Amino acid sequence: MLHYRCKLLNMAKRKLSKQQKRRIDSQQKNKIKNELLQDNTSPLDESNTQTARVISHHGRQLFAETENLERIKCKIRQNLGDIACGDYVLIQQAQDTTGEAQNVVVAVKERTNLLVKTGFAGAIKPVAANIGQLVVVTALKPKPNPYLIDRYLTAAENLPAKALVIINKIDLIDFETKRIVDDLTRLYQNIGYDVISASMKQEAGLEEISDALSNTTSILVGLSGVGKSSIVKAILPREEIKIGETSEATGEGKHTTTVSAFYHLKDNGIIIDSPGVRDFTPINKSIDEISYGFIDVRQFNGGCKFSNCSHRNEPGCAMKQAVADGELDEQRFNNYLRMVDEFNEKDK
Ligand SMILES: Nc1nc2c(ncn2[C@@H]2O[C@H](COP(=O)(O)OP(=O)(O)OP(=O)(O)O)[C@@H](O)[C@H]2O)c(=O)[nH]1
Ligand SMILES: [Mg+2]
Ligand SMILES: [Zn+2]
């Protein structure tokens, strides 16, 4: 009997020591994991990291695509700053408490550019990083807003990135809207931008769009409901994309896409279908950025009689003269002045 109890005790002891061992192991693993997740100022050992590109980002977690196109879920080390869809990140593996491998983003690589927007209460929110081309999507419904198009174009110039204008839903064309499409096309083509008229409903303009999106990373911007997701779906028929309903009452969409999505196209093209960006306001850091953003207006910079010309009432204004001579489009010039006014208002 005594012998048996001893045996039980011994077993308990062994069991205890096994449990202890597990606890110590897990504490050690946790330590590694926590060290990785915490802001670590010691130099990064890049030998056991891999590079991946962020395809979507939700709070402290993101999905990234490795160089061999494997999509992995990652935790993010603290204090890495803003991370956006399109960012290249360095990933290291750690083990979690259950011994399972976990990917941790330990650094964000230097970006070529970062598109930001102003969110609620003026907070600056990153939209996408390392963008080669901004595709400004407009449509016949909701109606094109040239001021918004110009705001996107100034954003593209300052990123810097190429810009392309797509006028979607031309199947809805009628006598009145035909003039809108023609005017927009002529205006932006004259300035030097590519303009593609398209209809996802009639599958018109698809090849032109596909060609324009090859060999670069593009982001689609434009009002909710213009058909950004429909364009992606049309050029990538096998991808599953949620297409939203357009509200018949207002002609506006319902902000169907809420998280940036990332798609591969033919010829190394990549497209990021951003959330509805109804409130997108490119953040101009200076009047110079606005002037630079209007590629047609900027060529008259420095040509006015007064070096501090506001281009409103002064004599010898090269810009007003250009408008009078038909060398500068009046609507673009007015949009430029309006953007300058809005910038100055903001600073008051
Ligand atoms: N008539 C017509 N309708 C279209 C066309 N392209 C898209 N639509 C419709 O427009 C609506 C909105 O399309 P989406 O692709 O969801 O619009 P979106 O720009 O992605 O909208 P958000 O994700 O909210 O920013 C859907 O009902 C589409 O079926 C087109 O070429 N012609
Ligand atoms: Mg969408
Ligand atoms: Zn002037």
> Which backbone phi and psi does 274 adopt, to 5 degrees?
-75, 160
Residue 131: per-residue pLDDT:
94
* Overall pTM > 0.75: yes
Report pLDDT digits (tens) over 184-226. Answer: 999 999 999 999 999 999 999 999 999 999 999 999 888 889 9
Residue 317: per-residue pLDDT:
98
For the chain, residues with pLDDT lower than 70 are 1-36, 39-46, 237-260, 274-282, 347-348
- C-alpha 187 to ligand 2 mean position (Å): 27
Of ligand 1's listed atoms, the one at least distance from the Cα of 242 is 16
**Sequential DSSP letters for 76-144:** E-TT-----BT-EEEEEEEE-TTS-EEEEEEEEPPPS-EEEEE-GGG-EEEEEES-SEEEEEEESSSPP
- Beta-carbon neighbours within 5 Å of ion ligand 2: 228-229, 257
Residue 126: per-residue pLDDT:
85
Residue 8: per-residue pLDDT:
43
- C-alpha 218 to ligand 2 mean position (Å): 15
Domains of the chain: 46-108 (2.40.50.140), 114-273 (3.40.50.300), 287-347 (1.10.40.50)
142: Cβ below 6 Å to ligand 1? no
- C-alpha 295 to ligand 2 mean position (Å): 29
Residue 241: per-residue pLDDT:
53
Of ligand 1's listed atoms, the one at least distance from the Cα of 277 is 25
| CB-CB contact of 53 with 88 (8 Å) | yes
Residue 307: per-residue pLDDT:
94
Residue 223: per-residue pLDDT:
86
